[in-house]
Structure 1
Amino acid sequence: MVSQAVQLKKIKNIPNIRNYADIFFYIRNHTIDWSYLNYLKELTTFSDEVISDWLNISVKTLRAYRKPETTFKDNLKEHIVLILSLYEHGTSVFEHKENFDQWLNTKNVFFDGNEPKNYLDTIMGIKFIDDRLTAIEYGDNV
């Protein structure tokens, strides 16, 4: 059994979202399990309903997956790791996770007047949000 401290260190070492090869091998070489979902819940201020929408699963399934001994399909593992990696980038850009959550929850012209959080339900949406974060880093303040 891996200690909680060791597991948290692995989670915090998720590769940069823009490095697809590292993300791919991270997912292949790590056990993406309930602890990742619990960390995601700790990381964000969003509700289980919102997080389950991002992951395209029901709230009941999300809550069941947060218990030890659950296994995930590969596409869910990928989705979880990419959202966590995006959170690392967003927290870096906005300096605090609360500020990043606020940006995700604010209507934005680059997202057709929608909140960026509504784009987290697809891999391409996650990548698009990451591209916007990079633009903000380089001076595009929207």
Structure 2
Amino acid sequence: MTKQGTLAQHDLLREVPSHINDGEILQFLFTKDVNWQHVNAIKDLTEFNDQVISDWLNVSVKTFREYKKPQNAFKENVKEQVLLLLSMIKHGLMVFGSVKAFDGWLNQKNFYFDNRSPGSYLTTVTGIKFVDDRLSALEFGDNA
């Protein structure tokens, strides 16, 4: 990624809420455009491949790759899910301090997730919010 691309992504990420809060998410959705840059940020901020991220968004890999192109507009539900994922990722990186540690936690089976991996919950809005809640629990000392 170019230095200009990195700066643009940094600015984009700075605007994204660092915790999932319904009011902040709705305000963002009504006042800003969630677009291909946000989808690319999800890809750039994690070590997950297109298959995994497309599963999170409940779309085919081909459709996910189309989402990463500037000319595409998203439906409202896709915008919301992309924003929630990005917010949760931002929160996770804050809590864990590195992409590697956060991605490892998302992939590891966990008691608090019914012995499933937290990443397996990211295919629904409720699941994303649940993972974000567990990140808050970790942040403030609860075992997660």
The question of a shared fold, defined as TM-score above 0.5 by the shorter chain, is answered with yes
Alignment of 1:24-103 (within 5 A): 24-103=26-105
User: What is the number of residues matched between the two proteins?
Assistant: 140
The CA distance in 2 between the partners of 1:138 and 1:56, in whole Å, is 31
1:94–1:100 contact (8 Å) kept in structure 2: yes
Q: Which residue of 2 aligns with 1:121?
A: 123
Cα shift at 1:71:
0.5
1:17–1:82 contact (8 Å) kept in structure 2: no
2:36–2:69 contact (8 Å) kept in structure 1: yes
TM-score by length of 2: 0.90
Question: What RMSD, in angstroms, separates the aligned Cα atoms of the two structures?
Answer: 1.6
Provide the identity percentage. 46
- SS of 2:73's equivalent? coil
2:12–2:38 contact (8 Å) kept in structure 1: no
Cα shift at 1:138:
1.9
Cα shift at 1:113:
0.8
- SS of 1:17's equivalent? coil
What does the per-residue CA deviation read over 1:5-47, in whole Å, with 9 as the maximum and x for residues that have no partner? Answer: 4565133311233321111111111111111111110001011
Gapped regions of structure 1 (runs ≥ 5) = none
Q: Which residue of 1 aligns with 2:132?
A: 130
TM-score by length of 1: 0.91
Cα shift at 1:95:
0.9
Gapped regions of structure 2 (runs ≥ 5) = none
- SS of 1:140's equivalent? coil
For 1:34, the aligned partner's letter is W
Q: 1:132 to 1:14 in 2, by over 3 A?
A: same
The CA distance in 2 between the partners of 1:44 and 1:16, in whole Å, is 16
Q: Which residue of 1 aligns with 2:106?
A: 104
